Structure 1
Amino acid sequence: MTRSVKAHAGLLLAALVASYFVWTREPSPSDDVVKVLSLGKLDKLVYEEPDHKVVIRRLKDKKGPYFWVKVDRNERKRPPRGLRGHSRFRRRHPLRTRPTLKVGPAKTRVPPTKAGAKPPTGKKLIKLKTRGPLKKRKAPAKKAAPKKSGALTPAGAERLLASASLARDPKADPKKKAPAKKKAPAAKKAEKKPAAKTAKGSAAGTAAGTGSGSGSAGTPASAPTSLPAKPKKPEVKKVQKVTEFKGNASAEEVMDKLGDMTAIRALGKIDDKQLEAFGLKDSKKRLELHAGKSKRVFMIGNKTYGSTDYYIQDQADKRVYVVRPRQLQSLRFAHYRLVDRSLYDFTQSDVERVVVISKKGRRELVQHNRRARRGGFWSKLGEDKKSDQHHTWMNKVMRLRARDYVQPKDKPASQQSVFKVEFYRGSTKLGWLEILRATEAKGWQLTGPKSGEVLLGRSDNTRALVRLPKRSADAIAKDIDAIIKD
């Protein structure tokens, strides 16, 4: 009996422990996602929306595979504001001047004294000049405004009215009041209304100076001018800009995630009303995924209510899904987020030695304690003592980054190598960096020490020419002769 009780108690305890672990464990990410497709490695990706298109291709060279991004977008170019001065958002505004205050020399005030008392001695007192009583200034006489040729004076209007009444009835006297008219029946009154209106119209026409009055009335008065038209808002022009660059780690993540796309909800097939509500009926946003010979197309709709997730529809089976926005946002702002600005695909701690080559010779430098965070330093080959000049110069080279990529249409016609740096770990070559001097091209910001020249960079990681920051590139190129000689 006791054995069976103990056995059941043990089983109950084991069940309680197992249930505790089941209820308290964290849910795995695979439990909350829906598999949309599984294409594996993507060869090409196309993202389109109004005024924006992104194409990512998977390429391969001797060093290995990489992603090349091409962005075709229409930028909105606003007209400049003001004449001079730029704000931090590149908006022009007029310069503001501060009023200056004129401050004269300080004067001491003489304290009042009693009658017959002498002023204190030992101090020089300055008597303040007092003004006399204020005189009333005569206001300047107002000049009479010049009479306009078409203006009608009161006297002229009175004469015109008199002449109009005399023209109708020569015996009428304009100074005497006209006798009151007898009231007519309604029918006769209706008949006489248009005649009265015409009579009034003729009198008004004569009063306006139509020519029936005397010559002193002048020409008719000019009509009031219309209000000035509101200034038109400056038009915003769209400028097409095409940029190409190597994709960074975020571009690789986008290609991997969209190749094995997952959704947080599967809505299935829905009717046209819901498609219109989700922004999928006439959507101009689309996503194309290419992997080998297979191709999948998705239409992108609006964001979900109260969230940043997107509705997408698979054009193969017309099913609708809700996906996370991270990958789509990266494609939307690809010209900022997907640019690879690093010149190296390794860190400084991976480098044991470098070889600097220029026209004047070559210099080999060695890095000591490269694994230490703060104890590493650079020196000449065969020396164990730190060289401050070489150490500072190598730190500048390792911190150098690309500003942007030189587009194929902007490639300079002539290029001249300034120096080249090769990086080694033991006998293995990690990579290289070359600094070039090229002629100035239209639209480029000068980064060279001389006018008309520009310093460009190229490495095994960028695969293309890049523009470098002005100050960093100038400092590195300026010290190259001292690095080679010393």
Structure 2
Amino acid sequence: MNARAMLLQVVLAVLALVAAVLVWQRGSAGLPGEVTVLEVSSRALQRVRFDDEARVVELFRDERDAATLWVRLGEQSGELRGNEMAKSLFASVAPLKAVRDLGMQDARKLEEMGLTGSPRKLTLTAAGREHVFTLGARLGEEVPNPYARREDGSVFLLGPSLVPQLESAAAILVDRRMHTFELGEFDAFTVFQGAHSRSFVVRGAPPEPVTVAPQRTPEAPDELARAWLDRVWRLPPRDMLGRGEEPPGGEPEEVFRVEFKRGGRRLGHLTVARGAEGDFFARTEHTAGWVRLLSGVDALAAMAVTVASGS
């Protein structure tokens, strides 16, 4: 999602909030302000689920590492690693807040708010208990509906960002990084291709020039290896497969592998493999599973033979 699309989404969300306040015609005691919809601690919160006509989104903690958050897009999909925005969203609903408490509403007003028969739900699971909120149906193709109805019938006006973020989970809540370290944070790497392997040393870090040289001749820079490493490091992911998911046709066949080190300690790795249908996939120490790559990997795979063998 580019910056213009993100800005448009924020503007539309704000407009939706303004429209909701205008639609709200009945008086309500007190001035608009932040109110608590569900009192739940961040430690007790286990899962956030969003359902609508087109998607299912779930955010949940890793059972072994509370700092790791997983995102599931769809009932049967694998688990993707959540990014910092996903973690921020998860924390923001503990406790769940709203802009205004609109109280109990009659049938006409509920229908006007899009809450009658709406399939859109927000479910928070805390301490093993599910709390389900009905969300208002969309006001239009691009305008989110900020109304939420609690199980006891109370209606609330949510803030403008929660639902749009869940709707755009695939684009903005998934960690699409291949590594958690940067080019320049490793000082050596080894390329494995078939029966061949070759190690290199790296000097420098962007934005300064980076040089790559064979480990056996560290004073003789290898421009071909440097250019190859630069392209490999920038391989863009197309599709992220979830934890435990296999590419179509089963486990892909390894084409080449790169191991990254710093001070003799292994930092991470990158494995590039070809799937049964000809697509290229990659997997690293950070990705949840295989990542489908964009086209153009064939040339890098061919160059890997030269880089790994030195001939």
What letter corresponds to residue 478 of structure 1 in structure 2?
A: A
Tell me which of 301, 305, 309 is aligned to 1:481.
Answer: 305
2:149 matched to which residue of 1? Answer: 313
SS at match of 1:255: helix
1:143 matched to which residue of 2? Answer: none
Cα distance in 1 for partners of 2:265, 2:145 equals 46
Distance change in 2, residues 1:62/1:412 (3 Å): farther
2:254 matched to which residue of 1? Answer: 417
> Structure 1, residues 38-66: CA drift from partner, whole Å, max 9, x if none?
33154322211124322333335699724
Distance change in 2, residues 1:432/1:292 (3 Å): farther
How does 1:466-477 map onto structure 2 within 5 Å? 466-471=291-296, 473-477=297-301
What letter corresponds to residue 368 of structure 1 in structure 2?
A: R
> Structure 1, residues 315-341: CA drift from partner, whole Å, max 9, x if none?
1x4322212232211222333333433
List alignment gaps of at least 5 residues for structure 2.
1-31
Equivalenced residue count is 271
1:52 and 2:55 correspond: yes
Cα distance in 2 for partners of 1:301, 1:387 equals 60
Q: TM-score, normalised by structure 1?
A: 0.50
Give the conservation status (yes or no) of the 8 Å contact 2:186–2:260.
yes
Distance change in 2, residues 1:423/1:43 (3 Å): farther
Deviation at 1:245, TM superposition (A): 5.0
2:208 matched to which residue of 1? Answer: 374
Give the conservation status (yes or no) of the 8 Å contact 2:252–2:281.
no
How does 1:304-343 map onto structure 2 within 5 Å? 310-315=146-151, 317-343=152-178
Counting aligned pairs with the same residue, the percent is 23
How does 1:439-458 map onto structure 2 within 5 Å? 439-440=276-277, 453-458=278-283
Tell me which of 70, 73, 83 is aligned to 1:70.
Answer: 73
Deviation at 1:429, TM superposition (A): 2.7
SS at match of 1:457: strand
What letter corresponds to residue 72 of structure 2 in structure 1?
A: V
Cα distance in 1 for partners of 2:126, 2:187 equals 40
Give the conservation status (yes or no) of the 8 Å contact 1:431–1:459.
yes
2:22 matched to which residue of 1? Answer: none
Cα distance in 1 for partners of 2:204, 2:136 equals 55
List alignment gaps of at least 5 residues for structure 1.
1-30, 73-241, 441-452
2:130 matched to which residue of 1? Answer: 295
2:8 matched to which residue of 1? Answer: none
Give the conservation status (yes or no) of the 8 Å contact 2:190–2:200.
yes
Cα distance in 1 for partners of 2:48, 2:210 equals 43
Cα distance in 2 for partners of 1:426, 1:66 equals 30
Bigger strand fraction: 2
Cα distance in 1 for partners of 2:220, 2:67 equals 38
Tell me which of 191, 196, 200 is aligned to 1:361.
Answer: 196
Cα distance in 2 for partners of 1:351, 1:377 equals 12
> Structure 1, residues 139-167: CA drift from partner, whole Å, max 9, x if none?
xxxxxxxxxxxxxxxxxxxxxxxxxxxxx
2:26 matched to which residue of 1? Answer: none
SS at match of 1:430: strand
SS at match of 1:439: coil
Give the conservation status (yes or no) of the 8 Å contact 2:136–2:145.
no
1:462 matched to which residue of 2? Answer: 287
2:9 matched to which residue of 1? Answer: none
RMSD (Å) for aligned C-alpha atoms: 3.0
1:258 and 2:93 correspond: yes
Give the conservation status (yes or no) of the 8 Å contact 1:361–1:484.
yes
Give the conservation status (yes or no) of the 8 Å contact 1:67–1:252.
no
What letter corresponds to residue 178 of structure 2 in structure 1?
A: L
1:431 and 2:268 correspond: yes
Deviation at 1:410, TM superposition (A): 4.8
Q: TM-score, normalised by structure 2?
A: 0.75
Distance change in 2, residues 1:366/1:280 (3 Å): same
2:11 matched to which residue of 1? Answer: none
Give the conservation status (yes or no) of the 8 Å contact 2:55–2:73.
no
SS at match of 1:43: strand
1:395 matched to which residue of 2? Answer: 230
Largest Rg, 1 or 2: 1
Give the conservation status (yes or no) of the 8 Å contact 2:237–2:291.
yes
2:113 matched to which residue of 1? Answer: 278
2:4 matched to which residue of 1? Answer: none
How does 1:189-268 map onto structure 2 within 5 Å? 243-244=77-78, 246-249=80-83, 250-268=85-103
> Structure 1, residues 116-145: CA drift from partner, whole Å, max 9, x if none?
xxxxxxxxxxxxxxxxxxxxxxxxxxxxxx
